Amino acid sequence: MSRTLTLMDRVRIERVVQSVDFLTQDIPGRVRRSIRRELRANLWAAASRAGASEAIRQLGSLRQLAEGYLAAEYGGGRRRPRWMSGFLWAILCVILISAINIVNFVAFTAGVQAARPAADGAFTERVSPWVMGTVKVTYTHGTLHSLAVSLPELMLVYCVAALILGGRLWRLVPGRRAAPQG
Amino acid sequence: MSGTGLYPAPVAPAHDPQLLKGLLSPLLLRLIAEQESYGYQLAQRLRELGLPDIADGTVYPALARLEREGRISSRLVASPSGPARKYYRPTSAGYDALAAGTASWLALAGVVTPALGRPIPEEPQPMREEELP
């Protein structure tokens, strides 16, 4: 007997499809589109017959499914870099370091105003060269006149490192072979 | 208890996934050779064949591998309910692989089945005297 899929069933199926797609991001886009299309059609067929929960249960481990697709595509061959993951990690790195520096700036100006309510002149702070840049504020009779915040010089290094590690860019190096897949 | 003495009779034996892994390709080729099918349909047919524990997630990558190896070809067929389904059929290389896989399995089964099918003795026979150092 064929069941009609509810909106929730479709959402659950799509979540599974997208999860497998994320886990197989090493595979070229054209092949991944084909995998997504086929997986979606199979899950729809299974859910129409046995319900969405049973269809997803019968699929087994999504990680193993993704590993199966990766092994089918590459065998023991070289995999592609994960550009999307690399850029996401690099953006996360920028957001994290920026957040730390914003907190540092707010804390520093609050400290200056608390210590000298009628502050006059320039105040500079640099707590850690590793993750924090320089904060320079100028006060005129207790009023913030100008501010300058520079991000740490090493920020670029961190972002490049995040891009390389997150994106597995070493896979671009010719001659490197991935471990054989089971 | 079975007639094998110390060993209880197996109850609905689960299929060893590693053992099945090597046989999945010829099994799928065989099923596809019998009837053009799509992924979920093949998983269902395997369950009906006597492999109730097989996960759909084992079957789909195996089909992807067979297609990548040029042993099966596919075509999209519109479905009355839901997205178009990908139906598979063997290529000539697939028929060759099926014939080779079948012959290989039958030859192996011809050796293994009689050996493992014998009753298991309760005790191993003692070492013969002439084998003593």
Is the confidence at residue B131, as pLDDT, over 80?
no
Q: What is the mean pLDDT of residues B74-96?
A: 94
Contact A72 B64 (CB under 8 A): yes
Residue A179: its pLDDT value, please?
A: 47
Q: What is the mean pLDDT of chain A?
A: 86
Residue B43: its pLDDT value, please?
A: 95
Report the 10 Å Cβ neighbour count for A174.
5
Is the confidence at residue A178, as pLDDT, over 90?
no
Lowest mean pLDDT across A96-105, A119-128, B77-86: A119-128
Assign A181 a pLDDT band (cuts: 50, 70, 90). very low
Contact A60 B56 (CB under 8 A): yes
* Predicted TM-score (pTM) of this structure: 0.67
Same domain, A18 and A61: yes
Residue B14: its pLDDT value, please?
A: 67
Residue A22 domain-assigned? yes
> pLDDT by residue (tens digit) across A111-146?
888 888 888 888 888 777 777 788 888 888 888 888
CA nearest B20: which of B28, B10, B32? Answer: B28
Same domain, A88 and A63: no
Give the count of Cβ contacts less than 8 A between chain A and B. 79
Residue A178 domain-assigned? no
Same domain, A94 and A136: yes
Q: Is A165 on the interface with B (CB under 8 A)?
A: no
Same domain, A38 and A98: no
Query: Where a domain ends, among A28, A49, A74?
Result: A74
Contact present, A12 and A56 (Cβ < 8 Å): yes
CA nearest A172: which of A68, A69, A73, A83? Answer: A83
Residue A90 domain-assigned? yes
| Domain count across chain A | 2
Same domain, A11 and A65: yes
Query: Where a domain ends, among A74, A97, A119?
Result: A74
Chain A residues whose CB is inside 8 A of the B82 CB are 5, 41, 44-45, 48
Q: What is the mean pLDDT of residues A11-34?
A: 92
Same domain, A57 and A94: no
Phi/psi for B15 (5° steps) reads: -85, 135
* Cβ-based neighbours of B39, under 8 Å, separated by 6 or more: A38, A41, A42, B56, B59, B60, B63, B85, B86
SS3 category, A136 = strand
Same domain, A93 and A154: yes
> pLDDT by residue (tens digit) across A154-169?
888 899 999 999 888 8
Contact A65 B57 (CB under 8 A): yes
Query: Burial level of A28, CB count in 10 A (0-12/13-18/19+)?
Result: exposed
Percent of chain B surpassing pLDDT 90: 62
Is the confidence at residue A182, as pLDDT, over 50?
no
Contact present, B40 and A45 (Cβ < 8 Å): yes
> pLDDT by residue (tens digit) across A80-100?
788 888 999 999 999 998 898
Same domain, A106 and A150: yes
Residue A106 domain-assigned? yes
Residue A34: its pLDDT value, please?
A: 94
CA B76/CA B61 separation, integer angstroms = 17
Same domain, A102 and A51: no
**Domain limits for position A33:** 7-74
Does the CA dihedral B29-B33-B36-B37 come out positive or negative?
negative
Q: Is A56 on the interface with B (CB under 8 A)?
A: no
CA A4/CA A1 separation, integer angstroms = 10
CA distances for A53 relative to A46, A49, A59, B24, B81, angstroms? 10, 11, 10, 25, 18
Q: Is B61 on the interface with A (CB under 8 A)?
A: yes
Percent of chain B surpassing pLDDT 70: 88
Q: Tokens standing for A27?
A: 């595979």
Determine the distance in angstroms separating the CA of A64 from the nearest CA of chain B, rounded to an integer. 7
Assign B3 a pLDDT band (cuts: 50, 70, 90). very low
Chain A residues whose CB is inside 8 A of the B79 CB are 41, 44-45
Angle at A20 between CA A74 and CA B38, to 5 degrees: 80
Strands B85-90 and A135-140: unpaired
Q: Is B110 on the interface with A (CB under 8 A)?
A: no
> pLDDT by residue (tens digit) across B29-68?
999 999 999 999 999 999 999 998 899 999 999 999 999 9
Q: What is the mean pLDDT of residues B96-114?
A: 93
Report the 10 Å Cβ neighbour count for B59.
29
Assign A175 a pLDDT band (cuts: 50, 70, 90). low
